[in-house]
Every structure is written in structure tokens, then in C-alpha cells.
Chain A
């Protein structure tokens, strides 16, 4: 059986999580989250894939041609849009974190150190 797409999805999930945990920069962390999320695109598209089939667009192929699942493709579109908005939101939070504390390193933004810096 062909496991390759799922293996790539698991690998992307792994490197994304590793990047988030070891990140020393909030912008880098946001990008790691994007990498982590791209594994979900791959899983969705892999589930709906059909061997030797067309895209689910019947503009220039006759109706009834075997095509891949359009539902998971629509879900992937939703996934991409939500991923982009979450990235934008987190980057805005990173901008504010830098403005307030002058740091982007999540290690140095720990609560106990943050309290000292506030006064």
C-alpha cells in the first residue's frame, strides 16, 4: 500500500511541532504553526484522491468522468483561509509583544520575567 502522502503529513506535523517547542522567535513560531497546519491540507487531499482521475471540474471533460472528491478540496480551501487569518492574527500579537517587551524570544517572555518588566 502507498503510505507516502500520510508519511509526509506526519513528518510535517512532527517538524512543525518541534519548531514550535524549540522556537526562539515568535515570528519563526508562527511560521512553524503554518508548517504544522499544512500537514492537514495534505491529509485532506490524500483522503479524497482517486487513482487516474480528473480534477472535479467538468468544463472540458465530459460529465461522468471519474474525478477526485470535491468535498475535501472545498474543506482544504476553508483550511487555507483559516490558516492565513490565524497567521495574520498571531503576527499582530507578535508585533504587540515586541512593542511592549522589546523581545521576540518566547523563552524570555515567560510570565515570571514579564511581571518584573512591567514596572
Chain B
């Protein structure tokens, strides 16, 4: 099929699809005219029931915690998949010894970037921990804070180099964080069963809304997910970085090929 025919077939079907989607949207209640009962009910009951002032977190880690466990395992499965897809390549490296851009000049990291980057690492870690720890009070939580914490480790790569990133976050430790976080979140769910209640029942004391130590299992779930997301993201980033940087490191040593180190 030629590109022109393909594009016209696609254009016709796209117009039909978008028309149908728009037709479906027109049948929805007006924008801003929310009618569904669940949001209003949750906004009324979540604070007294679960002692969380952030209802979104209460939905994610309490009312819909089972779904969030599945989401967590999607992340976990994707991390494993990225690792195994890129791992197969390590065996193939020896077959392609030539650098793809041997004449490319690799500039050294400039001093302003080093200073700014390294100066930002500590504040970024602090913000990440704050976002994870206060997820049940203000917007934030394990997923958002975990990504910020992973950014802090990426900053060490930007301002130093990959070997420093490995020294700051050794891969064993990162894998351990990812595994412990994912397992910890599942175990918090099992705690409900052990206490003789339902899976992911919030079995701990609820405390006062707005306190750091309140909302029962929700801050613990946030911490576990934060650990898993940090581990998962740093692990995936290192897998991608290793693809490019093993080559660059070899070239600095004066070797053309890529080792299977």
C-alpha cells in the first residue's frame, strides 16, 4: 500500500473516529456541571473517616488502594521489562564494536552546571521527602515524591558523571529499594487481612486530621510507594544511561570497542 493511499484511508477513519468521540462528549453533562455522587460523597466523608485532608490520596491509598497496588505492579513489571530488554543487548555489544559517532566531541561538564546541579541535590531530596511524607495532608504522595527523589539522583549524573551516580546510588541498593517498596505496599494490604478485616483495610489509628502522624496506613503506603518509585525510576534511568555511557567510557580509555563489563 502506498503512503498516499494509506494516509487517505487513515484520514477518513480518523475523521469518523473523532466525530464519534465528539458526539459522545456532547452527550456528557456540561463542563463544570458535575453530577456524579461519588466525588461529593468522598469529599464529605474522607476527612472525618480517614483523617486525611487530601482526598485524592485517601482515594489512592485507601478507598482504591487495591487498584493502586495493581498500578504499582504495572510500574514494577515495566521496570523489569526495561531491564530485561536492555540486558539482552549486553551480550550483543561485542558484535558491534564501532562507535556510532566516533568523531563526535564529548564536551566536559561545565563548572556552572556542576555547581548548580550539586547544589540542587540536597534541596531536591528534601522536597521529595516532604512531598512523600505529607501526601495525606497536602497534594503529593509516594508517586509524585518518588519521581522528585529520582530527579535528585539524576542531578548527580548531570553535574558529575555516571560513575558518581553509581557511587551515590549503587545498583544493588536501588534494586533493593524498588523491591522493598513494592513488597511493603502489598504487605500493608495484607496487614488488613491479618487484623481480621478486608485487604487494604485501614487498620491503624487515624489520629487528628492535619497531623503528620495521622490517617493510619496511608502515610506508610506513601512511603513504600515512594521508595518503589524512586528505585524503579533510578533503575530505569541507569539502564538507559548505561547504553550510551559504557561506550563513552571505553573511548576515553582509548579503546574503540564496547566491553561486556
Contact indicator B55/A56 (Cβ below 8 Å)? yes
Q: Roughly how many angstroms separate A18 CA and B138 CA in the complex, as a whole number?
A: 39
Contact indicator A58/B14 (Cβ below 8 Å)? no
Contacts of B78 in A (CB 8 A): 85-86, 88-89
Given A64-B44, A69-B39, A70-B56, are A95 and B34 also a contact pair (CB < 8 Å)?
no
Contact indicator A95/B71 (Cβ below 8 Å)? no
Instruction: Give the contact-size bracket for chain A.
Output: 35 or more
The answer to the question of B59 belonging to the interface, with a C-beta cut-off of 8 Å to chain A, is yes
A69-96 to B contact mask, C-beta < 8 Å, 1/0: 1111110011001100110110111011
Q: Measured between C-beta atoms, what is the minimum distance from A85 to chain B in Å?
A: 4
Given A63-B47, A99-B89, are A18 and B75 also a contact pair (CB < 8 Å)?
no
- Count B-side interface residues using an 8 Å CB cutoff: 59
Contacts of B53 in A (CB 8 A): 57-59
Contacts of A82 in B (CB 8 A): 71, 74
A-B contact count (CB 8 A): 155
Contacts of A78 in B (CB 8 A): 60, 67-68, 71
Contact indicator B42/A70 (Cβ below 8 Å)? yes
Main secondary structure of the interface of B (DSSP, over half): helix
Contact indicator B59/A71 (Cβ below 8 Å)? yes
Q: Could you tell me which residues of chain B, from 20 to 45, have a CB within 8 Å of some CB in chain A?
A: 21-22, 25-26, 28, 30-34, 36, 38-40, 42-44
Residues of B at under 8 Å CB distance from A? 6-7, 10, 14, 17-18, 21-22, 25-26, 28, 30-34, 36, 38-40, 42-44, 46-48, 53-56, 58-60, 64, 67-68, 71, 74-75, 78-79, 81-82, 85-86, 88-89, 92, 96, 137-139, 143, 209-210, 236, 239-240, 243
User: Beyond the given A14-B14, A81-B143, A92-B86, could you list 16 further A-B residue pairs with CB under 8 A, ordered by the A residue number?
Assistant: A3-B25, A5-B31, A6-B26, A6-B28, A47-B34, A58-B54, A63-B44, A70-B46, A70-B56, A73-B59, A81-B71, A81-B75, A85-B78, A92-B85, A92-B239, A99-B89
